[in-house]
Amino acid sequence: MFFAVLLGTLLLAQNSAPCTGADLRTSVSVAGMTQEGELNVYHLAGTVTNVGKMKQAPNVLQFVEIYLDGTGRIDTRGIPPLKPGQNYAFGYDFKRSSDAGDGTSTLSFRISMRQPQTPTVQDCNPAAGMTSVEI
């Protein structure tokens, strides 16, 4: 019983500790669509913003990974380390058949962070670094 109470107290303390990393938010929208023969080209505009209180180390490697319909990754976009309040805009063009129905494909965008000497880098709110767009 004592061990269970101690373990619970330690877990609560660990979960309530302030985050010392960045807090990245991602947003993506369809900026327009053009046609190339039998293909529709969707022009997507994205923004990553560090809404946290800490700047990121200059050796952090981070990316927006792009997934189609929950399957494997189809592309990535590199993102520089961001200071608090700083944002970075990126673009992505997605081509698909003009016969495809509207709203039948979902593109998901997820932040992935790495540091060369450390296998994990703290992101205060990883869920905020994910967003999806239906086209």
Q: Is residue 60 part of a domain?
A: yes
pLDDT band of 2, cuts 50, 70, 90: very low
Parent domain of 96: 19-134
- The residue type found at 105 is S
Residue 76 pLDDT: 96
* Tally of residues, the chain: 135
- Closest CA relative to residue 79, chosen from 95, 93, 91: 91
Name the more confident of 121 and 133.
133
114 near 60, Cβ under 8 Å?
A: yes
CA angle 118, 130, 27 (to 5 degrees): 120
What average pLDDT score do residues 18-39 get? Answer: 90
Q: Is residue 9 part of a domain?
A: no
Q: Tell me, yes or no, whether 8 lies in a domain.
A: no
**1 belongs to a structural domain:** no
Is 28 a domain residue?
yes
Q: pTM for the whole thing?
A: 0.79
**Token match 């023969």: residue?**
37
In a domain, 72, yes or no: yes
Taking Cα atoms as reference points, which of 28, 37, 19 lies closest to residue 90? 28
Number of domains in the chain: 1
Does residue 92 fall inside a structural domain?
Answer: yes
Q: Is the residue at 86 inside a domain?
A: yes
CATH number at residue 93: 2.60.40.10
Q: What is the pLDDT of residue 4?
A: 43
